[in-house]
Structure 1
Amino acid sequence: MTTFSFATSSIGSPSTARLAVEWAAEHGFGGVEFNGPIRLADVSSDDRAFLSAMASEHGMRYTHHFPPAALPGSHDRATRERDLAELISEIKVAGELGVEIIVLHPGKLHIPGLEPEVISEADRVVSMSHYLDFVKAAAPVAENSGVVIGLENMHYIPGWVIRSHQELAESVDAIDSPAVGITFDVGHAWGSGGVDAGIKTFGDRIRHVQVHDARGPEGAGNVRDQHMEVGTGVIDWESVGELVNSKPFIVALETSARIVDNKDAVVRSRDLLQTLWD
């Protein structure tokens, strides 16, 4: 059975994990995806107890989005080490809190002093190696913590480490850990690589799904034309429904907080998908 959740940023970024979970329960959601400004290591002991009670008594499920600014493929060792230490810390806390998935962006290219878009293909190959080593270092911690690292498909345009569905799938295979899979972002796939192509290429590597609508031609890479309320864009949700109905996925609504009635947009998006997928 599909569990619908939402990114805390989509409802205006509540200041605490408890506030987000209370809103989820009030509006009939089965899960929450914590992201900025919520850092798992900073969740209070009282809130931890509340989250645990909501999980055990009401079946609430949790995921966490690691900060998108992380740079696993950075050419700067200090940057990689800083981000890896933070990721490992969050994974350990995630295990204690019962968080099932930590979403990680493979990230942008990073060489100090250069814009990501001008970094060469040869340097991108080096970045790919750093990214793989980064996730390989975190994977055993995730395994021991009972947490899955969900590598999210992003934008296959200059300036990013991963440039195709196939590269992301191959990176998961290269890491070769049961605690590493793919967070399939449907809106991003519409912009880069294609939705049906992503489902086919990623296959059983998909462990978690994020949804938001988009506009413009499929594969056009229009990054700003995403994170729309479901039903206001052009995505056909039929194949996604077949995917999410195949396993008990957590499906996280990732609609923009810039939508005027952002909380209502999250609820409407959930309700529409339930109608389409039932």
Structure 2
Amino acid sequence: MIGISTFPYITMSLYDALSEIEKLSSHAEVLSESRHNILLYGEVLSSFNLKYTIHAPITDMNFSSIHPPIRDAAMGVLEDVIRYGVEIGAEVFVVHPGYLGWITDLELAQQRMRVSLNGMEALAKEYGVLIAIENQPDHEYLLFRTPDLLSELDGLGFTLDVGHANTAGMLPDFLEHQVDHLHLHDNNGETDEHLAIGEGSIDFSEVAKATKSNGITKILELRDAEGLEASLSELKKIYED
């Protein structure tokens, strides 16, 4: 299954975004941000015959904060999103693991991230869903840029963001591990461009070899909608070879 993120349509209303996605795919991943915040606008989800995965909010969500009230607030928002998502049949929730605050100690932030991951494991069990942690692009303030964290995701899943991994030069390393959910977009290995498939340097045939047999959902996560149809067509050919 190849689905489409609402990210390229983020300036539209959620209803209009899903209307566009429904023309191309039977699966939408809702980025719960801005006009697509499911806690504010989620009532429109039931208007469509789509299967949903949910990308948890990113803005102001730092699961690695050294300040417990900030982590607690992020966990509260995540639980609200999961609770709502379960009501509309979503089973997979994508989560960014957090980032370093200004002059924050890396080891301390990583410790706090592990506290949050333990809390997410409890949420996944309570609601019977897959919370899949997403690897991040190559910026020093972001955590989980290499596969090291994968050994600590007990009870949680892994979302491989192919474009993010390419910016860190880590795509082959990540592909050696089990992938539970997939984000697909292209770049030239330097910045997180979210280009259409084939516009960057990523060899998607290698991605397909490592992931085609496990039946996971693959989500196109482009920056704009112009390349969606061509990217969808190209991915279908790659995965069918």
Structure-1-length-normalised TM-score: 0.79
Aligned equivalent of 1:30: 26
Report the CA distance between 1:80 and its aligned residue.
0.9
Q: Distance in 2 between matches of 1:44 and 1:124?
A: 36
Question: Of residues 68, 71, 91 in structure 1, which corresponds to 2:82?
Answer: 91
Q: Distance in 2 between matches of 1:98 and 1:255?
A: 24
- The aligned runs of 1:159-174 (5 Å cut-off) are 159-166=141-148, 168-172=149-153
Q: Distance in 1 between matches of 2:17 and 2:90?
A: 14
| Residues 49, 214 of structure 1: alpha-carbon distance in 2 compared, 3 angstrom cutoff | closer
Question: Of residues 219, 223, 233 in structure 2, which corresponds to 1:271?
Answer: 233
Partner-residue secondary structure (3-state), 2:94: strand
Q: May I ask how many residue pairs the two structures share in their alignment?
A: 237
Aligned equivalent of 1:155: 137
RMSD: 1.9
Bigger RCO of structures 1 and 2 (CA < 8 A, at least 6 apart): 1
Aligned equivalent of 1:215: 188
Report the CA distance between 1:78 and its aligned residue.
1.6
- Check if 1:144 corresponds to 2:126: yes
Q: Distance in 2 between matches of 1:163 and 1:213?
A: 17
Q: Give 5+ residue unaligned stretches, structure 1.
A: 55-59, 217-221, 258-262
- The aligned runs of 1:53-68 (5 Å cut-off) are 54=49, 60-68=50-58
Aligned equivalent of 1:260: none
- Which residue identity is paired with 1:31? H
- CA shift digits 1:24-47 (9 cap, x unpaired): 2222x12111112222222454x2
Q: Distance in 2 between matches of 1:132 and 1:61?
A: 31
Report the CA distance between 1:153 and its aligned residue.
0.6
Q: Over alpha carbons, which structure has the higher Rg?
A: 1
Structure-2-length-normalised TM-score: 0.90
- CA shift digits 1:36-90 (9 cap, x unpaired): 2222222454x24324xx1xxxxx3211111223100101122111111000111
Q: Distance in 2 between matches of 1:48 and 1:159?
A: 34
Report the CA distance between 1:156 and its aligned residue.
4.3
Q: Is the 8 A contact 2:136 2:143 kept in 1?
A: no
| Residues 163, 209 of structure 1: alpha-carbon distance in 2 compared, 3 angstrom cutoff | closer
| Residues 162, 264 of structure 1: alpha-carbon distance in 2 compared, 3 angstrom cutoff | closer
Question: Of residues 76, 80, 83 in structure 1, which corresponds to 2:67?
Answer: 76
Question: Of residues 112, 116, 121 in structure 2, which corresponds to 1:134?
Answer: 116
| Residues 48, 160 of structure 1: alpha-carbon distance in 2 compared, 3 angstrom cutoff | closer
- The aligned runs of 1:91-110 (5 Å cut-off) are 91-110=82-101
Q: Give 5+ residue unaligned stretches, structure 2.
A: none
Q: Is the 8 A contact 1:11 1:266 kept in 2?
A: no
Report the CA distance between 1:129 and its aligned residue.
1.6
- The aligned runs of 1:181-260 (5 Å cut-off) are 181-200=157-176, 203-204=177-178, 206-216=179-189, 222-224=190-192, 226-257=193-224
